[in-house]
Structure 1
Amino acid sequence: MAEQFSMLRSELTELLLVAVGAVPGALLRWQLAHHLGDQNLLVNVLGAALLGLLAGRPVAPRRQLLVGIGFCGSLTTFSSWMLAAMKHVSAGDWPAALGLIGLTLGLGLGAAALGFSLGRRLRPPEQPRSEP
């Protein structure tokens, strides 16, 4: 019984971390859309850069849940990106659809790589291991 309670407590803690991270990510996305219009490209590239930064550093699992899954997951939007591309396709504007897909992929990969590189540079130096 104690083991089940411990597992439940751990899962609820993880759920709470994701939820707490998701709220500011969703609010930032909403504010960007409110002030700048539909900015799928901006939020996806920004989220890719932040996830790259996290991936380039040693990040505690709880921080990954809070920032990676919670914040970045609610900030970025795959479904809205695909819907925007589909609207171009439906209008017969294949060049715009392919351009949007290519631009988002190219900038997103570049932002993730840049974030990863920055994360590696910001990584604390490894402590020398003493020989036993």
Structure 2
Amino acid sequence: MPEQSPSLRTELQELMLVAVGAVPGALLRWQFEVLLQDRDVLVNVVGSLILGLLLGLPYRPRVQLLVGIGFCGSLTTFSSWMVSSVDLIYSGQTLAAFGLIGMTLGLGLGGAALGLWIGRRVYALAIKPSAPPR
């Protein structure tokens, strides 16, 4: 039997979850920009940490849509990071550009790994059977 495609209602509910998550992510990104002047590295590392945390917890489709795609998708920025890197290269700061790329990749991977570890620890503690009463 062929798999049925999701109903329009289901797709609209999923779209709404992404949109609701995107608003606070975009607002936080904007505030980072206003207060810290272009801190792409910071928002990308925070987003990586949150996505790693989600990966370490049991899969929940609605949470993935709301937090993973909506919030983290609007918080993080690949394109701004690349434009900043190219801008450094065009201004003759090639070493700084590659430093920015390497630093962001390293910290992003570290953030994702830390988030994954935290998520797994939290989940392990949550399912750990409680000790019998004395």
TM norm structure 1: 0.90
Q: Where in structure 2 are the equivalents of 1:41-80 lying within 5 Å? A: 41-80=41-80
- Please list, as runs of the form range in 1=range in 2, the aligned pairs for 1:6-85 lying within 5 A after superposition: 7-85=7-85
Structure 1: tracts of 5 or more residues without a match: 128-132
Kindly report the root-mean-square deviation, in angstroms, between the aligned alpha carbons of the 2 structures. 1.5
Instruction: Using the aligned pairs only, state the percent identity.
Output: 61
- 1:94 deviation in Å? 0.8
Partner Cα separation in structure 2 for residue 117 and residue 31 of structure 1:
28
Distance (Å, rounded) in 2 between the aligned partners of 1:40 and 1:47: 11
Letter in 2 for 1:56: G
TM value normalised by structure 2: 0.88
Report the equivalent of 2:98.
98
Residue 126 of structure 1: CA displacement? Answer: 6.9
Q: What amino acid sits opposite 1:49 in the alignment?
A: L
The aligned amino acid for 1:23 is V
C-alpha displacement at 1:7, in angstroms? 0.3
Counterparts of 1:74 and 1:15 in 2: how far apart (Å)? 14
- Name the counterpart of 1:125: 127
Report the AA paired with residue 127 of structure 2: P
Give 2:132's aligned residue: none
> How far apart are 1:59 and its partner, in Å?
3.1
In the alignment, the residues of structure 2 paired with residue 126 and residue 77 of structure 1 have an alpha-carbon distance, to the nearest angstrom, of: 37
| Cα shift at 1:66 | 0.1
